[in-house]
Amino acid sequence: MLLMLVRENRRNRRLAYHDMLTGLPNRMYFYQLANQAIDWAESNHQRLALHMIDLNEFKTINDSLGHEMGDRLLKVVAERLRDTIKKQGKVARLGGDEFVIIQRLQPDEDASQMATALWQSLVRDVTLPDGCLSPQACIGTSLYPEQGTCITELLTHADTAMYYAKHSRTIAVQLYESGMDERRLRRQKLAIALQAAIEQDQLTLYYQPIFRLDSGDIESVEALLRWSSPEFGMVHPLEVIAVAEHYGLAHRLNEWVLQSACQQLHHWHQSGYYWLKINVNVSPSIFMDGELALTVQKVLQSSGLDASTLVLEITEDTSLWDTASSVETLQQLRELGIEIALDDFGTGYSSFSHLRQLPLNKLKIDKSFVADMTTDPRAYNLVKTIVSLAGSLDMKVTAEGIELPEQKDQLQQLGCELGQGYLLARPMPGDDMTEQLLHHTR
């Protein structure tokens, strides 16, 4: 009887202090472990690193693949974190897709090395029954005692660094730096101002022409968001999108851009430019929410625009290739008569096999390859391969970022049909675009 009580107490204690799914310490237990580590570090004059880990697009994975697959991914993440940190620290699951690690640092050890190793372990492919998933993650790291002497400070600063990494679009691992708190406060204020700007129609669209390289005729225009805030001045479009994504404004922002762009194109059609098309960018989170086709259909009806003159640009993203719902959304849009362009091709996670399977109309070659193609043979050969590949799949190709005559000449020689960039025309307000169209009447 006594043995049964002991076992029951152990079981209850484990349930109270551990996450049931992964077996990792939970938030409550982690605070105890972290405080013990801080006491040890203070007594021994040692340093600690606290790593906050967040999985990108985990909600999308749950929604599209199901919670069973999401749970399986969380178990794999927990195992990989344990295997990577080994005896150097303790891993815990704070909840959802957030994990945290407290690590003992050796003298002169660089915490970013472990953070990078953790990230590399997480982004390896995960084999699932229905295919392969390539998870993405971001990590924020804070240091004891330099950036906090208690667990609350360390968690806050690591979370701030993680937030910075998540929305930088260029890095996945970030050490906390002074000034990040101010930038995060700016983002919060920006979110409030952006919500008001959407509601009060204070945003603006600029338009950059996309030309046929052989004739110089304008094929379409790409709608580009601009926001001049009374409080913050001109806000960079990438920052606007990042704020909208994080604070739940992406859907409303996307609908505003789509509605405004379609209304402008309808006006140009009525003015005689009936052949003109318009390209509108769609963020991955909007693409995956399952409502995009309905939103587009509603906007087309309200604007009176023909679906065949709308081109939606989808940026390469991991989740785009691993879910049946992605293909379904693309097919729904194609059935409406809308063209789909894959933007920034060559910088994401797509493969040639994906291009064959997905119902795409166009590829847009990322400007980084165009910039280097006149000086780097590898970049030139890559552009050549993309143009040839697209032709074999009956897709049109647009080269982005054309800034030099030599780039334009080489692209024409390779058979690239369409191009855009500062050499041809810069983004411009709607009225200026109307003036530009006067010289390109077909």
Distance CA 305, CA 299 (A): 8
Confidence label for 290 from pLDDT (cuts 50, 70 and 90): low
DSSP 39: H
Query: What CATH number was assigned to the domain covering residues 186-440?
Result: 3.20.20.450
Q: Going by CATH, does the domain composed of 2-178 fall within 3.30.70.270?
A: yes
pLDDT of the residue at 241 = 87
pLDDT at 207 over 80: yes
pLDDT of the residue at 1 = 55
What global pTM score does this model have?
Answer: 0.71
Q: Output the six-digit token pair for 78.
A: 């927990």
More confident position, 232 or 58: 232
Measure CA 425 to chain center. 27
Distance CA 427, CA 62 (A): 38
Fold match, 2-178 / 186-440: no
Q: Residue 322: exposed, middle, or buried by beta-carbon count in 10 A (0-12, 13-18, 19+)?
A: buried
pLDDT at 331 over 60: yes
Per-residue pLDDT tens for 217-241? Answer: 999 999 999 999 998 999 999 889 8
pLDDT at 40 over 80: yes
Confidence label for 210 from pLDDT (cuts 50, 70 and 90): very high
pLDDT at 329 over 90: no
**CB of 305 within 8 A of CB of 311?**
no
pLDDT of the residue at 4 = 53
pLDDT of the residue at 83 = 94
Q: Is the peptide bond preceding residue 237 cis, with omega within 30 degrees of 0?
A: no
**CB of 38 within 8 A of CB of 104?**
no
pLDDT of the residue at 318 = 44
Tell me what the pLDDT averaged over the chain comes to: 87
Domain extent listing, the chain:
2-178, 186-440
Q: Output the six-digit token pair for 179.
A: 């000034």
Q: Residue 208: exposed, middle, or buried by beta-carbon count in 10 A (0-12, 13-18, 19+)?
A: buried
pLDDT at 273 over 60: yes
